[in-house]
Each structure stands twice: as structure tokens, then as C-alpha cells.
Amino acid sequence: MTLTAPPPPARTEAAAAPPGRRPRRRGTPGGVRTLVSAVDLNRHRTAYVVAVAGTMLVFTAAFLYPLYWMATSALKTPVEFAQNVPTIVPESFHPENYTTAWTSMRIGRFFLNTVYYALGGWLIQLILDVAVAYALSKLKPVFGRVVLAAMLASLMLPAAALLVPAYLTVADVPIFGWNLIDTPWALWLPAAANAFNVYVLKRFFDQIPNDLLDAAAIDGAGRLRILRSVVLPLSRPVLGVVSIFAIIGIWKDFLWPLLVLQDPEVQTLSVALSRLANTSQVPPTDFMAGLVIASVPMIVIFLIFQRSIIGGLSAGAMKG
Amino acid sequence: MAVIPAVAVREARTARLRRRIGDNLLAYAFMAGGLFCFALFSWYPLAKGVILSFQQDNFVVPPYWVGLDNYRAVFDDPLFWTAWKNTVLFTGLALVFGFALPFVIAVLLNEFRHLTGFFRVLVYLPVMLPPVVSVLLWRSFYDPGNGLFNTVLSSVGLPTSQWTQSSSTAMISLVLVSTWANMGGATLMYLAALQGIPGDLYEAAELDGAGIWQRLRHVTVPQMRFIMLVLLLLQIIATMQVFVEPFLLTGTSSPDTVTVMVLIYRYAFTVNNDFGLAAAMSVLLFVVLGAFSALYLRLTRSAD
């Protein structure tokens, strides 16, 4: 076969065809073909518009309205809140319910507790898990595979099965004899034993070419310096995803903090709200304000980092 | 080719050995903190849980061996079967809604050319809320007196319900809030998988005269089979550990909604204060969930 042979005419036609068929799909770059073809979609324009509008209506009612209801209920008076026909827009406007909740329900205290636990837990998880992943990936110690397998095996353990023995362990740590109940360490140390983080980080570090590390080593950088100046800057995306999920995980956790944080002074928002929900002294409107305050940081994180969160979720779906 | 002197070879070898030893020491120094946490809070509790299930331990007297007594006691507890029945019922109902609905929504959203980002954010919004917030919010919706649901139902002339406070609707109420709070994750994972289906397949099927339902059945579903199986297993594992919903909506004493986790909680922390019983129950739950976990790991590992 010669290199200069002209392509058969049929070929050129086929090659020319795609540009001609390009505008088959409006609104999608590249025109990805899905279940319904663009032709059908254009033919049934009305049905499509109705479907999108209907979905928007249902989604708004199902997912947005409950949050709107929560935020506006917190602005009402208890009397208006208890009305048989709920008002969509609050008749009276009492933003002071939020400040009352913050101070007299001491939501502020629990909020700061939770922030402290989330940030501390995030930092410890990141430091310890990055160190483990880096050692396993780039220093390749003897028994490294065994260590990794033992860590991954813990992914198989449902959290529920470890609840009681883990509680007893935290109440009396073997060898050291510490009692971590009611201390932040009861949340932080078990959270650092996160095999998923180690796995994700190690996989990412594995993809960093060793030549790059060797080059830095020749320039006189030690292992720690290589981690700090070469590996970590390259790993920003994966560190971001691990960080976000670490903070969300601690913020949303309930059963474990319920067990290990018994003193009301040190409880997280979730635990405190579940306790306050069963007392009758709290006005329902203030309580709604408490629920809103507990949700706001998560919603803000979601709106800022939605790309990473949704991307991380999708990557998880593909790789498992 | 130049001959390398033997001394140089030996020196190079010792240097390499020294570096290997140094790397190993450094590696274990790096891993010390992580190993400490895994050993104390993951590996040790696993062993302790199994041991505890054969012991009597209530914090009053030092633990002693009781053989299979804990298992016998757990099996004899009438609540044991109730709890398993409820857990399986919850998981089954949660699958009916939580497995089918995200798939349908994802297929629908994948056809949309407008507002896709908006829909994605909305469906995932409840997942971001702390579970305690979702459940307590729904608790006020479920209020049989003037909760939102009954108000809406009666305003359009439909019969109202006792929701969580009636034994016939309690379980379904738990499933509804759980589905609302959790379906966003599965929906987005399905969406990601749907976008990976090659468009040629639909094209070819259409040329062969396949209608929309046939394309759905013979292209979409087979292409999604793997992710559907993975999410099915993940959802079974997650919903069998249900706790927050019954704990906050119906309490730990209502037999209609006692689940395995609620029973473990009762054994250990409220009614019995008996960690041995709770450990025995945990081991049983672990065996059941472990089977699903192993299947899940095998599936995802072999796919890698």
C-alpha cells in the first residue's frame, strides 16, 4: 500500500458528512446521541417543553420548597407557624428567631463545636492519610501490600458492626488507657482510619511519574521535601475532593457523635438538635432556625464546590 | 565496553541497600500515625467485637466467657425477629423507591438539553443536609395535627394520615424521608454512567427500527447493568444499617419500626446495658452485610 494513495470517494463523502449533520442537536456541544434522537426531539417540541417544565415544577416542589419552608418558618411567630393553613410568605417577619436560637438555644455553641470537630478532623485525616498513601505509593516499604490490604479490608466492615466495640475502645483505649469520651479525639482518631482516603490518594500518587521524583532527588530534595514540593502541588485536585468529603462527613455524622459526646457542652449540632427536638421548651420557630443554621454551611459548601462534589461522585460511580 | 571495578559494584550495592533501609524506616515513620488509628479504631474493635459476643460485659463486673449464651439470648428475644423483619421491609421498600426512582429521573434528565445543571443541583441538595435536619424537618411535615402533609392533603380533599404515629404507615413514612434525603447520589451516578453510553448504539438500534422503549430496554439497561448492580449492593448495605430515621421519628421503643441497628442501640445503651448482647447482634449484622460487601468489592475490583 502506498502512502500517497488517494482515499476512495465513498470515504471522502463519509468524512464530509459529520460537519453537515453537526447542528442536529441544539444546546449540546458535540451533539451527544442519547436515547431520543435530535430529530424526534425537534418533532415533539411541545412534549419536550412540557416535560422540562413539569420536571422543574416537581423538582422545585420536592427539593426546594421544603428548604424554603424551613427557612421561612423560622421567620414566623409560633402562632403563625401553628396555623392550619400555612402561609407561603410569612405575614410577620422575625429574623430575631435566628439570633434567639443562636444564643438561648445555644446553637452558636454547638455550631462552633461542629466547626472545630470538622476542621480538626479534616486536618488530621489529611495529614495521616496523605503520609500513609505517599509511603505506600512512593517509598514502597516491605509489607506495603499487606498494610494496604488490611486497610482496604476495613472498607468491607459496615460501620454499624463496629459501633459497640469501637465505643468501648474509645472509652478505654488499650495499652494507653485513655478515655476519649467527650473529647474531640473520639471523633478525630477513628475518622483518620479512613481506607477510602488512603486508596484514592494512593491511586493518584501512583500516577505521578517516578522520573519527576528522581529529578527532584538528584537536585538534593529529601523524601519529605519531594512530598511537599512535588507530590502535593500536583495532587491539588484529589486533595480538594478528599478534603470536601472529609468535612461533609464529619458535619453530617450523627450516631457516632451521639455515643461518644455525652456532655451537652461538647455536642455537635446534629446531636444537640436531636436532643432539643425532644424537649418541649423550645418554640418550634426557633427550632426551625436551628435546623437552618445546621444546613447552611453544607449548602454553601455544595454551591461553591458542586463541580468537585458531583465530579467525585461520578468518578466513584465509574471506578467503584 | 569498560569493565566496572568490583569495588565500585560493591559500593553501589551497599548504597542501594542503605537507601532501601532508609526508605523503609522513613515509610513506616510516615505510616505510624495512620497505622496507629487503623490498629486501634478499626482492626482492634473488629476482634474485640467478636470476642465480646461470647462474653458477659456490662461494665459492672469484669467481662467473663459465656459461650453462645449471648447468641441464644438474642435469638430468644421476640424483638430479634421483629427487628430483622422491619429491617428487611425497610430495605425492600427503600429499594422500590430508592432504586427505581433515581434511574427513571437520570434517564429523563439525560434527555434534557436545558436546565440540566439546575436539576442536578436540586436533586442533590437534600443529600447535603445533615440527616438529622432532614429527618427533623420531615417530622414536622408528618405532624398529624397541622403538619404540612396533612394540610396539603386535606386542602385538596384527600384523606389525611397519621404518618409516623400509626403502625400501618410508620414504616412507609421512614422510607419516604430516607428516599428524599438519599436519592440524589444514585441519580447523579446514573447520570454519569448514562453519559458514558456510546451514542452509536442508539443510532444503530434506531436504524434497525427499535422504538424508544426497545432502545431503553435493549441499549440503556444492558449498558447500565454493572452500575445498577453496584448501586443495588451499596444501597442494600446502607439501608440495612438504618438508624437515624427510626431513632428520631418513632423512637427506639416502637416495635413497628425497631430495626437491627435500633435493637443494637437498645441492647448496649438504653434497655439492657449489655454490650455482649449488642456485640452478638452486631456480629450477625456483620455476617449478613459482609456477604454483600464482599460481592461489591469483587465486582468493582474485577472491573478495574
Domain B69-303, CATH among 1.10.10.60, 1.10.3720.10, 1.10.510.10, 3.40.50.1010: 1.10.3720.10
Cβ of B132 within 8 Å of Cβ of A274? The answer is yes
C-alpha angle A224-A186-B280 in degrees, rounded to nearest 5: 120
CATH H-level, domain A105-278: superfamily: MetI-like (1.10.3720.10)
**Overall residue count recorded for chain B in this entry:** 304
**CA-based torsion, B187, B93, B290, A121: positive or negative:** positive
**Overall residue count recorded for chain A in this entry:** 320
Distance CA A256, CA A248 (A): 15
Give the model's pLDDT for residue A283.
87
Give the model's pLDDT for residue A18.
38
Strand-pair partners of B64: B56
Tell whether A146 is within 8 A of chain B (Cβ): no
pLDDT confidence band for A8 (50 / 70 / 90) = very low
Give the model's pLDDT for residue B1.
53
Q: Does the pLDDT at position A16 exceed 70?
A: no
Tell me the three cell numbers of residue A303: 454551591
Q: What average pLDDT does the segment B4-19 reach?
A: 82
Give the model's pLDDT for residue B22.
85
Three-class SS state of B55: strand
pTM for the full predicted model: 0.87
Do B129 and B181 contact (CB within 8 A), yes or no? yes
Question: B180 exposed, middle or buried (CB, 10 Å; 0-12, 13-18, 19+)?
Answer: buried
Tell whether B302 is within 8 A of chain A (Cβ): no
- Number of Cβ within 10 Å of residue B162's Cβ equals 14
Give the model's pLDDT for residue A317.
52
Give the model's pLDDT for residue A92.
81
Shortest CA distance to A288 belongs to which of A59, A57, A86? Answer: A86
Question: Following CA atoms B33, B36, B42, B48 in sequence, which dihedral angle do they give, to the nearest 10 degrees?
Answer: -170
Task: Kindly report, residue by residue over B212-246, the tens digit of the pLDDT.
Answer: 888 888 889 888 988 888 889 989 999 999 999 99
DSSP secondary structure code for residue A157 in this structure:
S
Q: Does the pLDDT at position A7 exceed 80?
A: no
Mean pLDDT score across all residues of chain A: 84
Between the CA of residue B65 and those of B68, B70, B103, B278, what are the distances in Å? 9, 10, 49, 15
Give the model's pLDDT for residue B132.
96
Three-class SS state of A153: helix
Residue position matching grid coordinates 461470647: B54
By mean pLDDT, which of A220-224, B139-143, B186-190, B234-238 is the weakest?
Answer: A220-224
Domain residue ranges in chain A? 39-96, 105-278
By mean pLDDT, which of A14-28, A45-59, A274-288 is the weakest?
Answer: A14-28
Give the model's pLDDT for residue B3.
65
Tell whether B126 is within 8 A of chain A (Cβ): yes
pLDDT confidence band for A316 (50 / 70 / 90) = low
Distance CA B236, CA B225 (A): 16
pLDDT confidence band for A320 (50 / 70 / 90) = very low
Contacts of A231 in chain B (CB under 8 A): none
Contacts of A198 in chain B (CB under 8 A): 34
Q: Does the pLDDT at position B202 exceed 70?
A: yes
Between the CA of residue B117 and those of B123, B168, B265, what are the distances in Å? 10, 39, 41
Task: Kindly report, residue by residue over A237-265, the tens digit of the pLDDT.
Answer: 899 989 999 999 999 999 999 999 999 99
Cβ of B202 within 8 Å of Cβ of A37? The answer is yes
Task: Kindly report, residue by residue over B267-288, the tens digit of the pLDDT.
Answer: 999 887 888 999 999 999 999 9
Q: What average pLDDT does the segment B5-16 reach?
A: 82
Cβ of A32 within 8 Å of Cβ of B195? The answer is yes
Cβ of B146 within 8 Å of Cβ of A83? The answer is yes
Distance CA B164, CA B144 (A): 9
Give the model's pLDDT for residue A175.
87
Which residue in the set B23, B115, B279 is minimally distant from A141, CB to CB? Answer: B23
Give the model's pLDDT for residue B36.
95
pLDDT confidence band for A4 (50 / 70 / 90) = very low
Cβ of A273 within 8 Å of Cβ of B275? The answer is no
- Number of Cβ within 10 Å of residue B6's Cβ equals 8
Chain A: residue whose CA lies nearest to B34: A128
Q: Does the pLDDT at position A25 exceed 60?
A: no
Three-class SS state of A176: coil
Q: Tell me which residues of chain B, numbers 72 to 101, contact chain A at a CB-CB cutoff of 8 Å.
A: none
Q: How far is A207 from chain B (nearest CA, A)?
A: 15
Residue position matching grid coordinates 456485640: B279
Do A192 and A124 contact (CB within 8 A), yes or no? yes
pLDDT confidence band for B12 (50 / 70 / 90) = confident
Q: How far is A168 from chain B (nearest CA, A)?
A: 8
Long-range CB pairs of B288-295, under 8 A, 24+ apart, other chains included:
B288/B240, B289/A158, B289/A160, B289/A161, B289/B237, B289/B240, B289/B241, B290/A156, B290/A157, B290/A158, B290/A161, B292/B233, B292/B236, B292/B237, B293/A155, B293/A156, B293/A157, B293/A158, B293/B233, B293/B237, B294/A156, B295/B233
Q: Tell me which residues of chain A, numbers 20 to 79, contact chain B at a CB-CB cutoff of 8 Å.
A: 25-28, 32-37, 40-41, 51-52, 55-56, 59-60, 62-64, 66-67, 69-70, 73
C-alpha angle B223-A56-A304 in degrees, rounded to nearest 5: 80
Tell whether B247 is within 8 A of chain A (Cβ): yes
Cβ of A158 within 8 Å of Cβ of B289? The answer is yes
At residue A312, φ and ψ (nearest 5 deg) are -60, -40
Give the model's pLDDT for residue B136.
95
Task: Kindly report, residue by residue over B53-92, the tens digit of the pLDDT.
Answer: 998 876 667 788 888 888 998 899 999 999 999 999 999 9
By mean pLDDT, which of A42-56, A290-304, B3-17, B273-287 is the weakest?
Answer: B3-17
Cβ of A165 within 8 Å of Cβ of B45? The answer is yes
Q: How far is A1 from chain B (nearest CA, A)?
A: 30
pLDDT confidence band for A319 (50 / 70 / 90) = very low
Task: Kindly report, residue by residue over B110-137, the tens digit of the pLDDT.
Answer: 988 888 889 999 999 999 999 999 999 9
Which residue in the set B34, B122, B128 is minimally distant from A298, CB to CB? Answer: B128
Give the model's pLDDT for residue B196.
86
Shortest CA distance to B279 belongs to which of B54, B58, B62? Answer: B54
Give the model's pLDDT for residue B131.
96
Distance CA A296, CA A7 (A): 62
Task: Kindly report, residue by residue over A76-92, the tens digit of the pLDDT.
Answer: 888 888 776 777 788 88
Between the CA of residue B49 and those of A150, A245, B55, B263, B282, what are the distances in Å? 17, 28, 10, 16, 8
Do B231 and B185 contact (CB within 8 A), yes or no? no
Radius of gyration (C-alpha) of chain B in whole angstroms: 27
pLDDT confidence band for A22 (50 / 70 / 90) = very low
Q: Does the pLDDT at position A166 exceed 90?
A: yes
Question: B111 exposed, middle or buried (CB, 10 Å; 0-12, 13-18, 19+)?
Answer: middle
Q: How far is A3 from chain B (nearest CA, A)?
A: 30
Q: What average pLDDT does the segment B165-183 reach?
A: 90
Distance of CA A194 to the CA centre of its chain: 14
Give the model's pLDDT for residue A6.
36
Do A132 and A294 contact (CB within 8 A), yes or no? no
Cβ of A52 within 8 Å of Cβ of B112? The answer is yes
Do B13 and B236 contact (CB within 8 A), yes or no? no
Chain B: residue whose CA lies nearest to A254: B132
Q: Does the pLDDT at position A197 exceed 70?
A: yes
